[in-house]
A = this chain, B = another copy of it.
Amino acid sequence: MDLHTNTDLRAFFEPRAIAVIGSLNEWGGLGYTAIKNMHRFNFTGRIYPVNPSYKEALGLRVYPDVNSVEDPIDLAIVITPKQTVPGIIDQCAHKGAKAAIVVSDGFAEAGEAGALLQKQLVEISRRTGLRIIGPNTIGTLNTQNGLVTNPYFISYDKIHKGGIAYCSQSGIVGAQGQPLNDQAYPISKMCDLGNKCDVNEGDLLNYLANDSETSVIAMHIEDVKDGHQFIDTVQKVAARKPVLLLKPGRTERGSKASASHTGSLAGNERIYDAAFKQAGAIRLNTWREFWEIPRIFVNQPLPRGNRIAIITFTGGIGVASVDAAEEGGLAMADFSPATVSKLSKLSPQLASNPVDLGPIIPVTDDPLPLLEQTIAAVLDDPNVDCVTATLYASTGAETPIYMDIFDRVMKNVTKPVSIWIYGTELAAIEELSRQVQGRGLPAYFDIELAIKALATAARYSRIKKQNVTI
């Protein structure tokens, strides 16, 4: 691993040795909590707590300062009062650390004095080559090696490994503000860029483009530090992996709020929007979309076209879902004569899209084979590019049968499927959702979101084709 190139961000995600500089008070000290989180995540690297007031903490030897650590340090996590940060960063650079995450806040986001302090960090970084994420960040998370720099208590033990990189410049995109485990988000990396005094969204995109664990990048940005660099980077990266952007400031007041929160110009919204689109990024609108839409890119193939088939258990939902499909740029597939014939044999009422199993299921002795034959017929249709199917979460006894059905019907199929799960009990809906996602099928609690996920995949499929022909 070569950490000497200045553009290399690997030390932020794949450090062999970390110094944690901060309070080791076991009642919520931020350094203490960060280390405890890493222990719980089974971090594979070495941890060196740094604090002059302790000799030992969490079973680890504590060093009075970074220089006292005998071994090389790849990454320093700095969680100290803001005035002390420049001096500590300087020490880290002299120690040979490649990277520092500055968790401390009170910098550019907090007024002029903080901005001056932040400027000192930038100067040290420029002078020494030490790369900095932050300040005002909860840092990084890597599900491969158990790295988690979050200094706030994380209430679960593990999160699901998978292909989504969630990036942000807000602490909400972290392990302390989302039910990552309960929702079974398949995660490769997370990163909160904070104030972006050095490492910016373009740098991060470049790193994630080359990260083999990441198959889709979901990025929340409020401002862009270097517009040209970022747009160029998006264009390069989007040709390889989907880049999904949540950028508030669609409205004038939202744009102003963004500027005042980040301490930098939010920029002209319309110019951004056009540039993002041209570069091949896909914009998302809500936090729910930010968390949920990326799932579709993790284990599913891209749709070859934009023709969707929708299988529901009630006609009312089916009709409403047609709007969601059309608004997302999908077209309702016209079934081939062979499919119409197959579905008609199951029941004459089934032969149109959306396929409504609602009237059939109550009068069928065993509805599961009917569900399987319907999904298989629809997936097999050459006029169908992608499918949203519905599952009813009941007692849980049907879960293995559902799984077997998908194992069989998805065999040799290279079309993406998204699942809408409904039922009367939240716990059952959520458990079935986790099971379905464990099989690589993205599951959603809203049919509109299940369809929008496929619409986003179809859109990325077009972006990729255009990039290939360039």
Contact = CB atoms under 8 A, between A and B. Distances in A.
Contact of A356 (B173, B249, B261, B352): B261
Given A170-B314, A318-B257, A362-B152, A423 B323 contact: no
Contacts of A425: 155-156, 179, 181-182
Contacts of A317: 170, 172, 287
A178 interface: yes
B257 A177 contact: no
Given A179-B429, A286-B448, A426-B179, A323 B250 contact: yes
Interface in A223-275: 246, 248-254, 257-258, 260-261
A315 to B, nearest CB: 4
A356 B136 CA distance: 14
A105 interface: yes
A446 B324 CA distance: 19
Given A257-B319, A287-B448, A430-B426, A171 B358 contact: yes
A270 to B, nearest CB: 14
A332 to B, nearest CB: 5
Contact of A332 (B246, B253, B286, B448): B253
Nearest to A312: B172
Interface string A348-363: 0100101010110010
A95 to B, nearest CB: 27
Nearest to A362: B152
Given A152-B362, A155-B425, A424-B154, A448 B288 contact: yes
A316 interface: yes
A320 B262 CA distance: 13
A220 interface: yes
B326 A252 contact: yes
A250 B327 contact: yes
A424 B156 contact: yes
Nearest to A426: B182
A460 to B, nearest CB: 22
Interface string A293-336: 00000000000000000000111111110111111000110000
Given A170-B315, A261-B356, A358-B171, A322 B254 contact: yes
A66 to B, nearest CB: 24
A318 B261 contact: yes
A148 to B, nearest CB: 13
A222 interface: yes
A401 interface: no
Contact of A316 (B170, B323, B325, B326): B170
A183 interface: yes
Contact of A177 (B152, B314, B327): B314
Nearest to A361: B152
A174 B313 CA distance: 13
Interface in A443-468: 446-448
B258 A319 contact: yes
B316 A423 contact: no
Contacts of A257: 318-319, 322, 332, 354
A220 B316 contact: yes
A424 B175 CA distance: 7
9 closest Cβ contacts across the A-B interface? Answer: A170-B316, A251-B326, A254-B323, A182-B426, A254-B322, A248-B320, A172-B314, A257-B322, A261-B315
Given A173-B316, A177-B314, A254-B319, 6 more contacts: A176-B424, A182-B424, A251-B323, A253-B322, A257-B332, A427-B427
14 contacts: A106-B359, A152-B362, A155-B424, A170-B316, A182-B425, A183-B426, A222-B316, A248-B319, A250-B327, A251-B326, A254-B326, A287-B320, A287-B448, A426-B426
